[in-house]
Amino acid sequence: MPLSLAHALKQAAIAGLLALGLAFPILALRSDQDMNNRLIVETRWSWAIGAALAIFALRLIGLYLQHWRANRPQSVRSNEARKDYGTPLAWAGLIILFAFPFVILSLLGPQGALKWINNYGIQILIYVMLGWGLNIVVGLAGLLDLGYVAFYAVGAYSYALLSTTYGLSFWICLPLAGLLAAFWGILLGFPVLRLRGDYLAIVTLAFGEIIRVVLINWIEFSNGSAGISSIPRVTFFGLPFTAGEGGFAALFGLEFSPIHRVMFLYFLILCLALITNVVTLRMRNLPIGRAWEALREDEIACRSLGINTVNTKLTAFALGAMFGGFAGSFFAVRQNFVSPESFTFIESATILAIVVLGGMGSQIGVAIAAVLMIGGTEVLRELDVLKAIFGEGFDPAQYRMLVFGLGMVVMMIWKPRGLISTRTPTIFHMKRRAVSSDLVKEGHA
Amino acid sequence: MRRWLEDPLLNVEHLSMVFGGLSAVSDLSFSVGRGDITALIGPNGAGKTTVFNCITGFYKPTRGRLALARAGAIEDDALDRLTLSGQRFAGDLYLLERMADHEITRRAHVARTFQNIRLFAGMTVLENLIVAQHNELMRASKLTFGGLIGLPSYRAAETHAVQRALDWLKRIHLIHRADDAAGDLPYGDQRRLEIARAMLTDPVLLCLDEPAAGLNPRESAELTALLRSIRDEDRTSILLIEHDMSVVMQISDHVIVLDYGRKIADGTPQDVRDDPRVIAAYLGVEDEEDVAAAESEVARMAGEAP
């Protein structure tokens, strides 16, 4: 069906007018204070008109793109031709990840490398790990969890409180934090067992908020919004990263540099994330993992096959929470400071966005999504070039959420089921053929 | 021979199911014979699927007792002892109304299929059949921990499970589709796959909710052969709901007719076919006079027929 120009122009004009209507109060009118502290209204007509024109143009382009996509010759939906690039890609990624800090260090020297390893390496890997943890609950078991940050908080506070109160070392606290988070995962699991879809999402959302609000208000326990500071730093299995006698650098005959600690943290989170990945991948091929996926596909059929759906859901919650707890306790040892501020809803939303963007259930997709989302945010801070275009007061990082939102909208149109949307079967007879996302359910049982 | 009276596998006694004010099944009693194909028929809304849901634990019956003996006979005194003890099962005897749905499949070995097919559409045909063997594999994987470290005994159990699944796929002629998504199969194949999946839970009683619905005559004939082989080779008793009377009359050993939640006939296919109340229920006769008229009509036709 050909797209008539008149129709396209009409559609685009409607979108443009809508944008103008919205832009009028938001962009065109700006309240400010004058010299005498009186409220005045400035008008910025050019902004509003500019926005309307931009929307008009985008809508027009979008319509033609949509038309082109619908009318291009369709290839037969076939999974046969798809080659398995997954394994070599994963190995290459692994080598790059282990080489990354050394390459950066040799290129930029200890001072320049610090920022790259810390802001890009560690920050992204934390979210990769959180994404993988949440992927068990949302991607495999199909239980929509909007309060995942609660387990991250439980892990962080476990380490913070156990180390500052009882002086326990990080290596003892790490498994304890995982266990405590798993315990809270089961605790959350019980009330939501009977809930489905939206109701499940709301209760998990509330759970995340409850944990945060308790941490703010129970001052004797958690020191409230002031948080817990001077948490012991990470040690090299007992060796502190300090200058002078008995430190890591002295023992290994190196010149003391803060980069040692950061590199150690990098490898620590890399190993934790890889453990999460390996355990998840293995469990997916075990009866429990298949039961999670079956639960996502059809809960009633699961029950008819003698699968105890209560246990299946609880193990998914517990395991996902445990990895969240590990990540949380890593967060605490890296920052040396925790406060409820770090565990707001936006964190849960970011982790969930990573899982959805990556393609629910796909491990490599989640990793790519984490790199794009967290790395992208960091890259925005770097774009000082844009100041030359938009003027000195322009701070690209302020537009993070805008870019984020735009990215989400584009994804929903272009790839609604995430970057890697096909499902890899866990077992095969003759040939492993990926299952198209049209057939795979999203769950939220 | 009336096996359901001599050697019952399942005794349904005074089963009632009330939803709010609506009584879907009232005071229903019947027996399912060991090694029989038993058909549950009746007009739409007669309560057949409700009975199924009660037997398989998806509903908790309002009243009634559902006693199943996996191997031996249902002894009255043993049943009374179990009923009074408050236990869910004792030895070989199970009280299904006290058990949860997944327990009924796992312990009492009653499996079921659904009226609207419930396969795991996004999983492959083979995966569907492996999930059905969840409990055995879970035991073999030592609750996942053994599987995580790759115990050889778990790998052997998995190989065995795959072999069983492949054997079933050969039997239902789907071996060439083993690695395709279950949702990609044509309707008739999905029906057969769902039956195979239920069979892989090792049931003593297989409950099929309208297995022939939507099948063409050839597929219907294949289904009949499959159900016979399940009864004769696998020694699994079958309870089925079916609207296709040709299928029911061909394969059933025992037919129970429901109407408005009550049993109106119970016997061999021949008995039921000639029962005036059944004809009245199916033809929608309104009152007693019409029943009498239908009865005389049937008598006249029976007289004419050779």
Q: Which of B162, B187, B202 is the last residue of a domain?
A: B202
More reliable by pLDDT, A406 or A271 = A271
Residue B43 lies inside a defined structural domain of this protein: yes
**A357-373: per-residue pLDDT in tens?**
898 788 989 999 999 98
Least CA distance to B118: which residue of chain A? A301
Whether residue B80 is found in the same domain as residue B219: yes
| Facing residue for B130 by CB, picked from A283, A423, A427 | A427
What is the band of A86 on the pLDDT scale with cuts at 50, 70, 90? low
Query: What range defines the domain where residue B144 resides?
Result: 119-202
The lowest-confidence range among A81-95, A179-193, B261-275 is A81-95
Which residues, in sequence order, are CB contacts of B17 under 8 Å at separation 6+? B23, B24, B25, B47, B50, B51, B54, B59, B61, B62, B261
Which segment of A70-74, B11-15, B91-95, B136-140 scores lowest on mean pLDDT? A70-74
> What confidence score (pLDDT) does residue B1 get?
67
Q: CA-to-CA distance for A323 and A185, rounded, in angstroms?
A: 11
Q: Residue B39: give its domain's CATH number.
A: 3.40.50.300
Is residue B114 assigned to a domain? no
Q: Do A290 and B130 touch (CB under 8 A)?
A: yes
Nearest to A298 by CA among A163, A433, A141: A141
Tokens 């309707």 — which residue? B187
Query: What mean pLDDT comes out for the span A165-193?
Result: 93
Query: What type of residue sits at position A23?
Result: A
pLDDT digits (tens, 9 = 90+) for B59-68: 999 999 999 9
Task: Check pLDDT > 70 for residue A306.
Answer: yes
pLDDT at A14: 92
Same domain, B87 and B211: yes
Measure the CA–CA gap between A179 and A134, rounded to whole angstroms: 16
Could you tell me if B262 and B284 lie in one domain? Answer: no
User: For residue B221, what pLDDT band results from cuts at 50, 70 and 90?
Assistant: very high
Domain A92-382 classification at class level: mainly alpha
For residue range A211-258, what is the model confidence (pLDDT) as tens digits? 999 999 999 999 999 999 989 988 888 888 887 777 888 888 888 888
**Which residues on chain B are in Cβ contact (under 8 Å) with A322?**
none
Q: pLDDT digit string (tens) for B160-187?
A: 999 999 999 999 999 999 999 999 999 9
Q: Is residue B10 part of a domain?
A: yes
Length of chain B as a residue count: 306
Identify which has the larger pLDDT, B37 or A2.
Answer: B37
* Model confidence at A138: pLDDT above 90: yes
> What number of H helices and E strands is found in chain A?
18, 4
Residue A210: pLDDT band with limits 50, 70, 90:
very high
How many residues are there in chain A? 445
- Would you state the pLDDT for residue B303? 60
pTM above 0.90, yes or no: no
Contact B118 A435 (CB under 8 A): no
The winner for highest mean pLDDT among A99-113, A174-188, A406-420, B135-149 is A174-188
- Please, are residues A71 and A55 in contact by the beta-carbon 8 Å criterion? no
**Judgement on whether residues B19 and B32 belong to the same structural domain of the protein:** yes
Local confidence band at A88 (pLDDT 50, 70, 90 cut-offs): confident
Give residue A193's Cα distance to chain centre: 25
* B3 and B101 inside one domain: yes
The answer to whether residues B52 and B193 belong to one domain is no
Q: What residue type is A252 in one-letter code?
A: F
Proportion of chain A above pLDDT 70, given as a percent: 95
B198 to A304: CB separation less than 8 angstroms, yes or no: yes
- B225-255 exposure pattern, b = at least 16 Cβ within 10 A, e = fewer: ebbeebbeeeebbbbbbbebeebbbebbbbb
One domain for residues B286 and B302: yes
Q: Report the phi/psi class of residue A233: left, alpha or beta, with left for phi > 0 and alpha for psi in -120 to 50.
A: beta
Is residue B225 in some structural domain? yes
Q: Rounded to an integer, what distance in angstroms lies between the CA atom of residue A322 and that of residue A177?
A: 8
Which one of B99, B104, B127 makes the best mutation probe of the A interface by having the most chain A beta carbons within 10 Å? B127
Chain B residues near residue A293 by CB distance under 8 angstroms: 120, 122-123
The answer to whether A18 touches A59, Cβ cutoff 8 Å, is: no
The C-alpha of B4 sits at a distance from chain A's nearest C-alpha, in angstroms, of: 25
Q: Please check whether residue A348 is in contact with residue A147, taking contact to mean a CB–CB distance below 8 angstroms.
A: yes
Domain count within chain B = 3
If you average pLDDT over residues A22-41, what whole number do you get?
A: 83
Range of weakest confidence among A286-300, A421-435, B75-89, B183-197? A421-435
- Does one domain contain both B41 and B77? yes
Helix boundaries (H) for A24-85: 45-71
Shortest Cα–Cα distance, A429 to chain B (Å): 6
Residue B229 lies in a domain: yes
Asked whether the beta carbons of residue A425 and residue B124 sit closer than 8 angstroms, the reply is: yes
Q: Write down the pLDDT at residue A1.
A: 55
CB contact under 8 A, A427 and B162: yes
Co-location of B283 and B242 in the same domain: no
What are the chain B neighbours of A286 within 8 Å (beta carbons)?
137, 141, 144, 147-148
Does residue B208 share a domain with residue B198? Answer: no
For residue B161, give Cα distances in angstroms to A123, B137, B204, B232, B261: 43, 8, 19, 23, 40
Contact status of A297 with chain B (Cβ, < 8 Å): yes
> For the segment A390-443, what is each residue's pLDDT rounded down to a tens digit?
777 777 777 778 888 888 888 888 888 888 888 889 998 888 888 888 888 877
Residue among A298, A305, A429 minimizing CB distance to B179: A429
* Residue A162, burial from CB neighbour count under 10 angstroms (0-12, 13-18, 19+): buried
Chain B nearest-CA distance from A283, in A, is 7
Give the A window 217-236 contacts with B, CB below 8 Å: none
Of B202, B218, B251, the last residue of a domain is B202
DSSP assignment, residue A47?
A: H
Over range B124-130, report the average pLDDT: 96
Confidence of residue A320 (pLDDT cuts 50, 70, 90): very high
Boundary residue ending a domain (B182, B202, B222): B202
Is residue A77 pLDDT above 50, yes or no? no
Interface A:B, Cβ pairs < 8 A: 134
pLDDT at A386 over 80: no
* Cβ contacts of B141 on chain A, cutoff 8 Å: 286-288
Task: Using an 8 Å CB-CB cutoff, list chain A residues near B201.
Answer: 305-306
B113 falls within a domain? no
Q: How far apart are CA A78 and CA B216, in angstroms?
A: 28
- State how far the Cα of A331 lies from the Cα of A159, in Å rounded to an integer: 9
Q: Give the percent of chain B with pLDDT over 70.
A: 92
Per-residue pLDDT, B124: 95
> In a mutagenesis test of the A interface, which of B124, B155, B175, B185 is the best target, namely the one with the most A β-carbons within 10 Å?
B124
CA nearest to B30, candidates B62, B83, B67: B67
